[in-house]
Amino acid sequence: MLLERPTETGERRIPLYRRPGLLRALSPIAVLIIWQLASASGAIPAKKLPAPSAVLDAGLETYRSGQLTEALLVSGQRALYGFALGAVLALVLGVLAGLSKIGEYAVDPPLQMIRTIPLFGLIPLFIIWFGIGEEPKVYLIALGVFFPLYLNTFAGIRQLDPKLLELGSALHLGLVERLRLLVLPGALPQILVGARQSLGIAWLSLIVAEQINASAGLGFVVNNAREFLRTDIVVFGLVVYSLLGLLTDSIVRLLERRALRWRPAVRH
């Protein structure tokens, strides 16, 4: 409580436990410190896992050469196209299956069959179908994005209070108005959970997709470094992937807090 008292300037101090950004940063910082100390002591061989300082130097080298900026643009474009395609299909089919029993029987069974197929096991088939250009990479990401968002959209709609749908009927709302005013806002918490899961899988799918004859992007940088046994650049590329995932997850969390301000759990 002492931290909540006004300071001499009249500002109110924020308690440490109410600073989630700071608290979330503590464990990664601790991991980096332990990693650096273990590398410096020789407990972790540099050939297998370079020290954080060596990884940072490799990152600066990649940035100064211009490779990093170009790779981020290419990989970001692939992730964006794949996520957009998968998200649109997931929302449309999730709404269709969630609102109607006929839609569920028509849409859900084949999708559940496809969902059980290992995503990365489809790579050879995607190459046969779409070649080795950008298409198989984007479609692989889209497929990875699709299922978490579809399942959460479907579940969110099915868990709606039936009184909401009755209200729509009582007010004689059309289908579009029901979706815009009742269904999607009511299912939004579950949809945002699906979006966070889908973004994580999008970056995971991108890592694998960029192994398909990539001539640009982060995957190309990592594969090229592997050929020259540059473990430091390989690790740096993986760190960049993880930071991109963390960044996009933070953006969705921010949108979640803004969109769901009416929920006490989100507001506080």
Dist CA 99 CA 138 (whole Å): 29
- Give the whole-angstrom CA distance, residue 66 versus residue 75: 15
pLDDT the model gives residue 149: 93
Q: Which domains does the chain have, with CATH numbers?
A: 70-267 (1.10.3720.10)
Coil, helix or strand at residue 99: helix
Residue 84 has pLDDT above 70, yes or no: yes
**Across 9-18, 53-62, 81-90, 193-202, least confident range:** 9-18
What is the Cα 168 distance to its own chain's centre?
A: 34
pTM of the model: 0.77
What is the average pLDDT across 80-88?
A: 93
- Mean pLDDT of all residues in 175-203: 81
First CA to last CA distance, the chain:
17
> What does the pLDDT average to over 2-29?
60
Question: What amino acid occupies position 48?
Answer: K
251: tokens are: 């953006």
Q: What is the pLDDT of residues 116-166, one digit of tens each?
A: 888 778 888 888 888 888 888 899 999 999 999 999 998 888 887 777 666
**pLDDT given for residue 134 in this prediction:** 83
* C-alpha span between 232 and 49 (Å, rounded): 7
CB atoms inside a 10 Å sphere around CB 69:
11
pLDDT tens digits, residue range 214-243?
A: 778 888 888 888 888 888 888 898 888 888
